[in-house]
Structure 1
């Protein structure tokens, strides 16, 4: 999620609520996750319910058996992704903050997914170097200045057909600001340049609006 720079259109949240009411329904485990995150003092930067379900569906469409997530927070997106896996599937999620990781592990236990998910703590650039692929689906939602390096690792840990999704790539249009001093925007612009020049990837990006403001996802497939 990005910090809101301008006035948010109230219709965005209303449409998100309509989507959730008509298509998602009640989900006690996810609701408990958000409550536990708030009680634990975690920042309110989880993906929205509609976005979480989108990630779930993308992982299912990819027939993913192994998923890698960079940036766990409290495990909201982790739960949606883990639910997309078969019973013998595996999800590895990386989190730098020890407290966030503890909250996520408790949330995963509440959701009945502890046996399917491994939470690894430490700087992702260090822990990524220890992993072995291939993964079928990679979701990157961590510190934006390191996104180009995360994508390089994702490609290394992938196979032809692996899906890579990167969150927060529009940043309320900040991605257009070539002179920005914000390292998150600078990292996002480097990400676009890197992916656009990468012959091993076919990619696009989509803008989104909703309760998580104006932002978007980069989506790529490894060729």
Structure 2
């Protein structure tokens, strides 16, 4: 899909009017690019949305599945109280090293633990209850991540999943794309899960046409 220039222009307008300049986040994106990380971070407006969701949830413990260079991690960690903690899971050691440097620059190294390895394996080593879970990793494993998020979430916790519209690809039941099939399986798993109250919202902007699942654990 070709990016509509108005989508990006509106994102720029939102950032200019509501977000303002942020030297730490700008440096994070620059460091990610210099290190050769893929340009798949959430947009600034989406990052601020995650920050606000964490604050609205009163989150004291946050779990993130998929760190990349730590852009969304920084926004989430900034929402934590002084004693709050965030655990973020990253498959690639190189990405994790870049994220740790970015978190240190942001003054958040003491609040965030970056765990390296396949998330399906590292999730199994975690215990305790989280107040918010953000899932933004390999899409074929979405259902596994959702199940682990439920295991690790307290009643009332918020679960957010990124990239669930995929430029409309989620409608294609016959798609050969494993990311689309993983996303469709996620919707099916949420629909069948009585402990979740959920919706999904479509987004357009600098990251083209996509969306988020927003869910609350009700039991």
Bin the TM-score by the shorter chain: over 0.9
| Paired residue secondary structure (2:208) | coil
- 1:75 corresponds to: 70
Matches within 5 A, 1:102-113: 102-113=97-108
What per-residue deviation string (whole Å, max 9, x for no partner) do you get for residues 120-152 of structure 1? 000000000000120000000000000011000
The question of 1:21 aligning with 2:49 is answered no
Counterpart for residue 187 of structure 1: 182
The 5 Å alignment of 1:94-173 reads 94-173=89-168
2:31 to 36, 47, 53: 36
Unaligned runs of 5+ in 1: 1-5
Whole-angstrom CA distance in 1 between matches of 2:4 and 2:27: 28
Superposed displacement of residue 7, structure 1 = 1.9
Cα deviation for residue 163 of structure 1 reads: 0.1
Partner Cα separation in structure 2 for residue 45 and residue 133 of structure 1: 30
Question: CA separation in 2, counterparts of 1:184 and 1:118?
Answer: 27
TM-score scaled to structure 1, two decimals? Answer: 0.97
Pick which of 7-16 and 71-80 moved more. 7-16
2:4 and 2:69 map into 1 onto residues whose CA distance is 27
**CA RMSD across the alignment:** 0.4
Deviation, structure 1 residue 8: 1.6
Aligned length: 218
* Larger fraction in strand: 2
1:206 to 179, 201, 205: 201
Correspondence for 1:221:
216
For residue 3 of structure 1, what is the aligned residue in structure 2?
none
Residue 100 of structure 1 and its aligned partner are, at CA, apart by 0.1
| Residue of structure 2 aligned with 1:49, choices 21, 44, 55 | 44
Q: Which segments of 5 or more consecutive residues in structure 2 lack a partner in the other structure?
A: none
Kindly report structure 1 stretches of 4+ aligned residues shifted beyond 2 Å.
none
- Distance in 2, matches of 1:22 and 1:133, equals 39
